[in-house]
């Protein structure tokens, strides 16, 4: 991570730089991620909070070239142009029911696990890029995902490469983006009432 990357993201309030250092680059080095390093990301995800400690998240990890190529046909052309170099692809899914009843927070809880995973990646010198630009039903068939699980996202994981390695149209986009002002996301007491 370059200092320019960190300095280009300005916060409205003081927070740890870990949060602003996390972004979603598309350029990956074709360099293997050691299993012990990868397991630290899953260990961080493991400790995410969940309703009733149900832990609805599951991760399907594709590390070998053969495993990754099996999922390529369902990935959009745009995403495949950059993610095919990533050494690891992870399909994040969530169990929709708990004890035979709908679990209304399965996606929320799994999002918390994903956030832990992504922040742990930053701490370990890795990058992640989640995507939903793929055929969910085709992916379900290829990966044999039961209907009792909902597909949330496919995440590319690895080491950051040079922007020059990307196809020309993507090079200019290979930089962290900003966020709307924090106050624009917060209401006071009821929907639409400005927070102050």
> Cβ of 133: how many Cβ atoms within 10 Å?
13
| pLDDT attached to residue 104 | 97
Whether CATH 3.40.109.10 fits 21-162: yes
Identify which of 38, 14, 52, 21 has the alpha carbon closest to the alpha carbon of residue 158: 38
Residues in the chain: 196
CB-based contact 122:21 (threshold 8 Å): yes
Task: Say yes or no to pLDDT of 74 above 70.
Answer: yes
Query: How large a percentage of the chain has pLDDT more than 90?
Result: 92
Q: Residue 6's pLDDT band (boundaries 50, 70, 90)?
A: low
Q: Residue 8's pLDDT band (boundaries 50, 70, 90)?
A: confident
- Chain mean position to CA 158: 12
pLDDT in tens, 78-124: 999 999 999 999 999 999 999 999 999 999 999 999 999 999 999 99
| pLDDT attached to residue 5 | 47
3-state secondary structure of 164: helix
Measured CA distances, 140 to 150, 153, 166 (Å): 9, 12, 28
Task: Say yes or no to pLDDT of 2 above 50.
Answer: no
Task: Say yes or no to pLDDT of 1 above 60.
Answer: no
Measured CA distances, 131 to 42, 165, 176 (Å): 18, 20, 16
| pLDDT attached to residue 90 | 98
Q: Residue 45's pLDDT band (boundaries 50, 70, 90)?
A: very high
3-state secondary structure of 79: helix
Q: Which residues, 6+ apart, have CB-to-CB distance to 115 below 8 Å?
A: 48
DSSP-assigned beta bridge partners for residue 130: 155
The packing angle between helices 35-46 and 106-123, to 10°, is: 140
* Strand segments (E) across 47-117: 57-62, 88-95, 97-98, 101-102
Q: Where are the domains of the chain?
A: 21-162
| pLDDT attached to residue 169 | 86
Task: Say yes or no to pLDDT of 3 above 60.
Answer: no
Range of lowest pLDDT (55-59, 69-73, 140-144, 191-195): 191-195
Task: Measure the CA–CA gap between 31 and 28, rounded to whole angstroms.
Answer: 8
Task: Say yes or no to pLDDT of 34 above 90.
Answer: yes
Query: How large a percentage of the chain has pLDDT more than 70?
Result: 96
For the chain, state the CA radius of gyration. Answer: 18
pLDDT in tens, 136-181: 999 999 999 999 999 999 999 999 999 999 988 899 999 999 999 9
């Amino acid at each position: 991570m370059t200092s320019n990357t960190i300095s280009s993201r300005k916060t409205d309030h003081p927070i740890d730089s870990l949060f602003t250092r996390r972004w979603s680059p598309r350029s990956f080095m074709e360099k293997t991620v050691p299993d012990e390093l990868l397991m630290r990301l899953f260990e961080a995800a493991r400790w995410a909070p969940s309703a009733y400690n149900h832990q609805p998240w599951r991760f399907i990890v594709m590390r070998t070239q053969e495993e990754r190529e099996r999922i390529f046909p369902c990935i959009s052309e745009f995403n495949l142009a950059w993610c095919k170099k990533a050494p690891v692809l992870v399909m994040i899914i969530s169990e929709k029911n708990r004890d035979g009843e709908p679990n209304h927070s399965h996606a929320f809880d799994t999002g918390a696990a994903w956030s832990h995973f992504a922040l742990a990646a930053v701490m370990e010198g890795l990058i992640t890029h989640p995507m939903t630009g793929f055929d969910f039903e085709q992916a379900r068939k290829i990966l044999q995902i039961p209907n009792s699980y909902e597909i949330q996202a496919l995440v590319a994981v690895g080491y950051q490469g040079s922007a020059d390695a990307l196809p020309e149209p993507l090079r200019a986009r290979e930089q962290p983006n900003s966020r709307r002002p924090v106050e624009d996301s917060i209401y006071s007491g009821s929907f639409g009432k400005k927070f102050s």
